[in-house]
């Protein structure tokens, strides 16, 4: 069982969706936004459904505390839509403490209290699933029990992430039947997912901190697996396995995410050319930088810079931005990609 894992990884800057939650009528959405953590608003005049979907979004940067108890007839599934930092506890037991990557799946059993301490903006899709909706596991496997599924933490579950995206990218267009189909598919995924044949211990936090610090101070240099393994004091094979168990990232993926995050800072706060940004964050060529940047962010560096500047301009009164930041997107987009 993948529990008590410590998460780390590249901090992905939180960017609220350009569509505010209330831009579309509540009746048009497949699921509502929660006003209180893990407590979806009941639909007026309708009986409780066997599967309820809701979304919890919080943009505040101050530390926030939330508590909730899963109903006795429900399982609780949560899929992280954005990378965030949080701590999950129950009494004196720490279930999760660290950076939770986007795509992480958490499962809680019925009648279980949980406390969440949020240290960064977050965005989660929540599924409240009746115990009767959880399908049977594969024939010949052990039957499901609340104890077996409780506090299941799967870092960066690609299938759960894609299911969540299918709902959130078009939540104002998706109907109730489509949403229920997605939720049932996720329930089947949880019930029938294969656990690791051999458990790999997560990299201890003190070793993880050493690796994180090394990457922060050397991300603009050539870093290989042997370098990181030496910093952690482990062989390459053991380090790679334990690092992925702790973070959900392969070491190379983590390094690339760190470089892209530093590149975002340069793109947003300076007029440095794309070629210079690429070299400054450790890429050998602008082409490789642009390819990795688009794979991670979904946009090219030039378009991301333009969108970032436009978002900044929209939050300030006219005339506040310096002249160089008011330069048109057309001019910036004429730069090489």
328: domain CATH number? Answer: 1.10.10.60
pLDDT at 137: 62
Domain assignment present for 93: yes
Per-residue pLDDT for 242 more than 70? yes
Instruction: Specify whether 98 is located in the same domain as 244.
Output: no
pLDDT at 153: 86
pLDDT at 299: 85
Domain assignment present for 11: no
In CATH, what number is assigned to the domain containing residue 184?
Answer: 2.60.120.10
Mean pLDDT to the nearest integer, 110-138: 88
Mean pLDDT to the nearest integer, 40-52: 70
pLDDT, mean over the chain: 79
Cα separations (Å) of 100 from 118, 167, 183, 203, 227? Answer: 11, 21, 22, 15, 25
Instruction: Output 202 or 302, whichever has higher pLDDT.
Output: 302
Instruction: Specify whether 276 is located in the same domain as 151.
Output: no
Mean pLDDT to the nearest integer, 252-257: 89
Can you read off the two tokens belonging to residue 280?
């400054």
Instruction: Specify whether 125 is located in the same domain as 273.
Output: no
Residue 4: pLDDT band (50, 70, 90) is very low
Residue of 114, 96, 88, 121 whose CA lies nearest to 13: 121
Query: Is there a contact between 167 and 31 (Cβ–Cβ < 8 Å)?
Result: yes
Helix (H/G/I), strand (E/B), else coil: 173: coil
Mean pLDDT to the nearest integer, 16-27: 42
Instruction: Specify whether 158 is located in the same domain as 34.
Output: yes
Look at 59-68, 74-83, 183-192, 319-328 and tell me which has the smallest mean pLDDT: 319-328
Mean pLDDT to the nearest integer, 240-255: 84
Instruction: List Cβ neighbours of 255 (8 Å cut-off, separation of 6 or more).
Output: 215, 219, 223
Instruction: Specify whether 236 is located in the same domain as 185.
Output: no
Look at 27-31, 156-160, 194-198 and tell me which has the smallest mean pLDDT: 194-198
Look at 2-16, 58-72, 164-178, 252-266 and tell me which has the smallest mean pLDDT: 2-16
* Domain enclosing residue 29, as ranges: 21-192
Instruction: Specify whether 35 is located in the same domain as 146.
Output: yes
Domain assignment present for 197: no
Per-residue pLDDT for 204 more than 70? yes
CA–CA gap between residue 22 and residue 227 (Å, rounded): 49
Instruction: Specify whether 257 is located in the same domain as 221.
Output: yes
CA–CA gap between residue 100 and residue 7 (Å, rounded): 5
Look at 46-60, 167-181, 265-279, 302-316 and tell me which has the smallest mean pLDDT: 167-181
Residue 9: pLDDT band (50, 70, 90) is very low
Residue of 56, 105, 49 whose CA lies nearest to 77: 105
Mean pLDDT to the nearest integer, 194-212: 76
Domain assignment present for 154: yes
Instruction: Specify whether 101 is located in the same domain as 237.
Output: no
Last residue of a domain, one of 192, 225, 241: 192
Mean pLDDT to the nearest integer, 84-90: 90
CA–CA gap between residue 222 and residue 57 (Å, rounded): 37
Domain assignment present for 125: yes
Domain assignment present for 14: no
Instruction: Specify whether 210 is located in the same domain as 188.
Output: no
Entry pTM: 0.64
Domain assignment present for 321: yes
Number of domains observed in the structure of the chain: 2
Residue 162, phi then psi, degrees to nearest 5: -70, -35
Per-residue pLDDT for 47 more than 70? no
pLDDT at 43: 63
Last residue of a domain, one of 163, 192, 221: 192
Instruction: Specify whether 33 is located in the same domain as 152.
Output: yes
Domain assignment present for 5: no
Per-residue pLDDT for 114 more than 70? yes
CA–CA gap between residue 178 and residue 175 (Å, rounded): 5
pLDDT at 142: 60
pLDDT at 199: 59
**What secondary structure letter does DSSP report for 195?**
P
Per-residue pLDDT for 62 more than 60? yes
pLDDT at 302: 92
* Angle of CA points 55, 61, 63, to nearest 5°: 90
Last residue of a domain, one of 192, 215, 246: 192
Extended beta strands in the chain, E state: 51-58, 64-69, 74-80, 84-90, 93-100, 105-108, 113-118, 122-130, 152-154
Instruction: Specify whether 210 is located in the same domain as 184.
Output: no
Per-residue pLDDT for 123 more than 90? yes
CA–CA gap between residue 230 and residue 271 (Å, rounded): 37
Mean pLDDT to the nearest integer, 85-90: 90
pLDDT at 81: 92
Instruction: Specify whether 95 is located in the same domain as 218.
Output: no
């Amino acid at each position: 069982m993948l529990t008590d894992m410590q998460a780390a990884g590249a901090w992905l800057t939180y960017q609220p969706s350009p569509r505010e939650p209330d831009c579309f009528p509540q009746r048009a959405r497949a699921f509502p936004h929660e006003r209180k953590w893990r407590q979806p608003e009941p639909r007026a005049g309708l009986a409780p459904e066997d599967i309820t979907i809701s979304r919890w979004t919080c943009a505040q940067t101050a530390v926030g505390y939330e508590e909730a108890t899963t109903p006795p007839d429900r399982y609780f599934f949560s899929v992280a839509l954005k990378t965030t930092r949080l701590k999950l506890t129950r009494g004196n037991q720490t279930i999760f403490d660290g950076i939770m990557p986007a795509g992480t799946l958490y499962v809680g059993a019925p009648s279980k209290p949980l406390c969440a301490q949020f240290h960064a903006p977050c965005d989660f899709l929540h599924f409240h699933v009746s115990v009767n909706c959880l399908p049977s596991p594969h024939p010949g496997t052990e039957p499901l029990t609340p104890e077996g599924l409780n506090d299941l933490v799967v870092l960066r579950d690609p299938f759960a992430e894609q299911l969540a995206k299918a709902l959130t990218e078009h939540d104002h267009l998706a109907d109730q039947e489509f949403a229920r189909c997605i939720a049932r598919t996720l329930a089947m995924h949880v019930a029938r997912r294969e656990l690791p044949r051999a458990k790999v211990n997560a990299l201890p936090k003190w070793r993880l901190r050493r690796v994180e610090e090394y990457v922060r101070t050397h991300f603009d240099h050539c870093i290989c697996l042997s370098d990181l393994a030496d910093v952690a004091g482990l062989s390459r094979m053991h380090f790679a396995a334990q690092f992925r168990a702790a973070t959900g990232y392969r070491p190379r993926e983590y390094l690339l995410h760190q470089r892209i995050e530093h590149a975002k800072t340069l793109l947003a706060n300076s007029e440095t050319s794309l070629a210079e940004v690429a070299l400054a964050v450790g890429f050998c060529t602008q082409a490789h930088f642009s390819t990795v940047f688009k794979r991670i962010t979904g946009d090219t560096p030039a378009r991301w810079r333009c969108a970032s500047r436009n978002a900044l301009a929209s939050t300030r009164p006219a005339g506040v931005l310096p002249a160089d930041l008011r330069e048109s997107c057309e001019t910036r987009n004429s730069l090489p990609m």
